Structure formats: C-alpha cells, structure tokens
C-alpha cells in the first residue's frame, strides 16, 4: 500500500499502516539479530581454531626443544 503525501488517511488506515510498518521493522530487527549472532558464532569458531593451532604448536615435539 503506497501512501501519497496528499492522501488523507482515516484513523483506521493510519493504524493499519503503522502496524504494517511496525511489523516490517520487527522483521528487520530480528534479521539483524540473527545476522549478528551468526557473525559472533563464526568469530568464536575462528578464534577457537587459532587457539587450537597455537596449542598444538606449543606442545608439538619439535617446539619443546627450541628453547633448550
């Protein structure tokens, strides 16, 4: 439903329009929340992988003798 600036809306039409806009805003917020959660999960997975690789390097047999 496109609303023109010069179009007068009655109270019911205005309320319906506000509800539709509100629903769209809620959907956008929910999508943004899901995207942020997905991004956070990916960052955590990358960080865990880096930590695992660093730990494997630190405890590898070759590395034990580097400091001697």
Domain boundaries, the chain: 11-63
Tokens standing for residue 16: 């319906």
Q: What is the pLDDT of residue 68?
A: 56
Look at residue 21 in the predicted model and tell me its pLDDT: 84
Q: Which pLDDT tens digits describe the chain residue by residue (68 residues)? A: 455 555 666 888 888 888 888 888 888 899 999 999 999 999 999 999 999 999 888 887 666 666 55
pLDDT of residue 1: 47
Q: What is the DSSP string of the chain?
A: ----TT----HHHHHHHHHHHHHHHHHHHHHHHHHHHHHHHHHHHHHHHHHHHHHHHHHSHHHHTTT-
- CB under 8 Å to 3, separation ≥6 — which residues? 9, 17
């Amino acid at each position: 439903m496109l609303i023109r600036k010069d179009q007068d809306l009655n109270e019911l039409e205005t309320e319906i329009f506000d509800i539709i806009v509100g629903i769209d805003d809620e959907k956008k917020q929910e999508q943004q929340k899901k995207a942020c959660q997905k991004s956070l999960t990916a960052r955590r997975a990358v960080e865990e992988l880096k930590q695992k690789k660093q730990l494997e390097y630190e405890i590898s047999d070759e590395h034990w003798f580097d400091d001697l």
